[in-house]
Amino acid sequence: MLVAPRMALATVSTERRFVFIIQRGAADGLNIVIPYADPAYARLRGSLAIDMGQATKLDGAFALHPALAETAKMYTARQALFVHAVASPYRDRSHFDGQNVLETGGTQPYEVKDGWLNRLVAMMPRQKNEAIALAATVPMALRGSAEVTSYAPSSLPQPSDDLLLRVSQLYAADPQLHAIWSSALDAKGLADGSAARQDPASLGKLAASFLVKPNGPRIAMLETGGWDTHTGQESRLAAQLKALDALVASLRDGLGPAWTQTTVLVATEFGRTVAANGTGGTDHGTGAVAMLLGGAVRGGRVVADWPGLGSGQLYQGRDLRPTTDLNALIASASAESLGLDPNRVRQSLFGNRASAWPNGDLLGA
């Protein structure tokens, strides 16, 4: 599930936590948060339309996919908020280019050379001069001037305790190697038995184990893949959402009391076509849905300037028309989450490329 999800973390001086989950592959927002009150939805989706007898109604216009059972509980507890018809500035429907724009905060692919999440880390008072990526490579959103190291579980046999002790003794007198070795052992101890399996619940538990440490990271990024549902979407999307639901629920449970100071942002590079295609799926689209989850979120709401799915209302006659700037949502959510000035965060992350968030507070009571 989620195609080998990966994680990256950053250490900053705060007790608030901000987690970014990227859905690589263009997740179908129309079947995640379902606009059941729009008559064109069922007509254009046909057999792919979600059965409203199984979905969870959120309000008089939208419902939640039935696979998101724990997310539905968070919504009831006012810990989940959904933002619909949202998009980055990108419009050309290429996964690689769309993900680059989403992660860098540019207006065009490869226009910006570092990631908005790295720029966010750089704004925070630092406890250490590093971030940690539990992956073979650091995702684009965390690349930049803030130092990042990576850790990936080895496929080699596990070293014995005696060998680890001997290497520790060897490095004890070296100030540089001793610090690096100690950091590696710390990461290994947390990752063993979890990262190697990479199932969603274990990934959520692993992320929480870092985030709850007294001097641990407070900013994390989780990568999930497998959202490109051109064929067989019904079962594939249900499996993806069930896995995402388990990941977030495990993160919530692992954080314990720290969940009340946590904001999780879930977003994808773009949405999918409104109409189903001829192979039981949907194709690359534009407008999508983003989620805010966590004990710090002022949830129990769907935020949507709904453009409609009828004739003449679609973007280029095929896609959900975006009416909300994803960059504005990212800037506002991350600023509120970490107690930073929203205007300063927006300028640092996106310059003049993002508008101010127009829809009121996202977090707090």
Q: Mind listing the pLDDT tens digit of every residue in the chain (365 residues)?
A: 455 566 666 666 678 899 999 999 999 999 999 999 999 999 999 999 999 999 999 999 999 999 999 999 999 999 999 999 999 999 999 999 999 999 999 999 999 999 999 999 888 876 654 455 555 678 999 999 887 655 554 555 556 656 666 777 788 888 777 777 666 665 554 444 333 345 899 889 988 988 898 878 888 888 899 999 999 999 999 999 999 999 999 999 999 999 999 999 999 999 999 999 999 999 999 999 999 999 999 999 999 999 999 989 999 999 999 999 999 999 999 999 998 998 999 999 999 888 888 866 888 74
CB neighbours of residue 209 within 10 Å: 16
Q: Is 163 helix (H, G, I), strand (E, B) or coil?
A: helix
What's the chain's length in residues?
365
Distance CA 160, CA 266 (A): 39
Residues 340, 123 contacting (CB under 8 angstroms): yes
Residue showing tokens 């999440």: 117
Backbone angles phi, psi at 143, to 5 degrees: -90, 140
Residue showing tokens 């990042």: 148
What's the whole-model pTM score?
Answer: 0.86
Residues 92, 67 contacting (CB under 8 angstroms): no
